[in-house]
Amino acid sequence: MGPRPGCPYPSCSPSSFGSSFSLVASVGCLSSSSLSPSPSEPVSSELSSRATTLSMETSSSFQQLGMQQRPEPPRQQLPGYGKCSTTGGDPGKDPGKAAGCSGGSGIGKGPVPMVCSTPCGNPYAGLVSHLRASWNSGKTRPMEYRVAQLEALGRFLDDKKQEILEATELDMGKPSFEAFFSEILLCKNELNVTLNNLSHWMKDEYVDKNLVMQLDSAFIRKDPYGVVLIIAPWNYPIHLFLVPLIGAIAAGNCAIIKPSEISKNTERLVAETLSCYLDSDCFAVVTGGVPETTRLLENKFDYIFFTGSPPVGRVVMTAAAKHLTPVTLELGGKNPCYVSDTCDVTNVARRVAWGRFFNAGQTCIAPDYLLCTIEMQEKLLPALRKAIDDFYGPNPRESPDFGRIVSDKQFQRLRALLGSGRVAIGGQTDEAERYIAPTVLVDVQPLDPIMQEEIFGPILPIMIITNMDEAIDFINSRERPLAVYAFSSDDKVVNQVLERTSSGGFCGNDTLMHVTLPSLPFGGIGNSGLGTHHGKFSFDTFSHHRGCLKRGMGWECLNAPRYPPYSQQKFGVIRAMSKVRCKNDCTLL
């Protein structure tokens, strides 16, 4: 998509990023054709059958089958931090090696061998094996190493800020303000919180002990899992791979990053430049669509972090189950927003409109639909119309602050949803620009198509209810969402919605803002996801909490009561000695 009216980068084009090569780890075993599996290669029937149901974020990693192999970018030195080279070999000519890059941390210079140990079974087996060998060497465990890699990510954000803004503008018309806020600023906040607290998070956590073990050491060790896979979507293509990666690095893991092929300009930017900042022995980028992701998931990972839709989340979880690999699934759903009759209508309209139309509505935690009485709807409509006009002007199509839909497929899907209910505000579309105006629908029914799937676009339906109880019943009758929103001047009403519903997160009297706090866990529940991340929660997600006990070789008399032959007297001693000494005076027996 070319620059739209008001684009702050009218001259930007895909070529503006340069064409340097870095460790894009589509490495093969026997021939260059295996670098990216061709459309004729076998793809798991389960993934193939489910791929047709993809929508919204999830097509980031599972585009429909039949994609052509992407031509390899020319190799040349990348300006900026770190120095890229192809001294490790040309993957097109020598599939046993991939280009090396001296990371921005000064660690991991030189070629990276990717030789498969067996005749070509999986094109990514060599890469995974190499990263596992690096992890087994212990190099990612020292805090100094982790800090160096995290600081290198900060330099990546600083050095590539303009390229990130341009790439997201090209991919989906993302306004520069929104791109800077969501893709750069929030990521830097995560980095700062992690760097400021990493030494504390890494410390062993000592626990309460019983009488027998008072002289022993009992603690929780935060161990890295090993080699992790991060699959990111297209809607926030930097943020949604970088924030999990921060947690993975902080916890001491090696990682393979799979960015979205839908946001192709951002994918190329990440693939060509990230390894010039990170240690290429421990971190790699894999590009491609369904065939590549399918083959990638055949490998044994120690942890998988996936962001996408519930249908594809199930596919990822099925693949992980074959190796008993733990997963975090950041999915989505229809996030309800209840508006009570007692509230500041102007403020509600502005906060709802901002949350719904930010990034042209392509946000997993955006309010998906409103629940209010007919009386409140009559007040909200003019307030929403004014908020949209204040934000984007009388013609949002000309506003530099309103984005576009990421693909033709998504545009067609969203345009079809406009047939639900009646358009009260907006409704204009332009297929050539993939533009859909900020739109509000009324007279929407629960069985309408727009209420059957996550919208993931700039369309806001209003559902009429008679009171708060009916709104809560409606919310609870559906799959548990990623977020629930409630607006009311009465804090008791907000608390009622909070206490009587279940969702990944909750925000009262605002939208989206809870996700900006690294101190809060972010994640879904039920159909909207599994697991959490952000801040320390990211560190914990990528850490195995290992229970440890270290005892001395002396004081054997204390162990005598546990040895056979058993007796009632020994049982009494064991019971007394097993009492855990803690403030709550709890007992184990």
Quote the CA–CA distance of 445 and 462 in Å, as a whole number.
9
325 contacts: CB under 8 Å, gap ≥ 6: 300, 301, 302, 303, 304
254-258 β-sheet, strand order: 283-285, 254-258, 227-231, 303-307, 327-330, 529-530
Contacts 24+ apart (CB under 8 A), 320-325: 325/300, 325/301
User: Between β-strands 205-206 and 217-224, what pairing exists: parallel, antiparallel or unpaired?
Assistant: antiparallel
Neighbouring residues of 508: CB distance < 8 A, sequence distance ≥ 6: 485, 486, 487, 494, 497, 498
Q: Of how many residues is the chain composed?
A: 589
| Preceding amide of 565 cis, omega within 30 | yes
CB atoms within 10 A of CB 15: 7
3-state secondary structure 297-333: HCCCCCEEEEECCHHHHHHHHHHHHCCCCCEEEECCC
Is there a contact between 465 and 444 (Cβ–Cβ < 8 Å)?
Answer: no
- Bridge-based pairing state of the strands 101-102 and 97-98: unpaired
Per the listing, tokens 């790439």 go with 167
Phi then psi for 257, rounded to 5 degrees?
-110, 130
For the range 176-180, what are the long-range contacts, defined as Cβ-Cβ under 8 Å and sequence gap of 24 or more? 176/8, 176/9, 176/400, 177/401, 178/358, 178/359, 178/401, 178/403
Q: Is 330 an annotated catalytic residue?
A: yes
What one-character DSSP code corresponds to residue 436? E
| CA–CA gap between residue 338 and residue 384 (Å, rounded) | 15
Cα dihedral 563, 568, 571, 572, rounded to 10, equals -140
| Alpha helices, H only, 358-400 | 374-392
Quick one: 16 exposed, middle or buried, by C-beta within 10 A (0-12, 13-18, 19+)?
middle
- Of 555, 561, 587, nearest to 574 by C-alpha is 561
User: In 10 A of CB 57, how many CB atoms?
Assistant: 28
Q: Which residues contact 113 (CB under 8 A, 6 or more apart)?
A: 88, 96, 97, 126, 130
Query: Are the CB atoms for 424 and 441 separated by under 8 Å?
Result: yes
Catalytic residue among 163, 330, 378, 499: 330
CB atoms near residue 559 (< 10 Å): 10
Eight-class DSSP state of 263: S
Residues belonging to the active site = 330
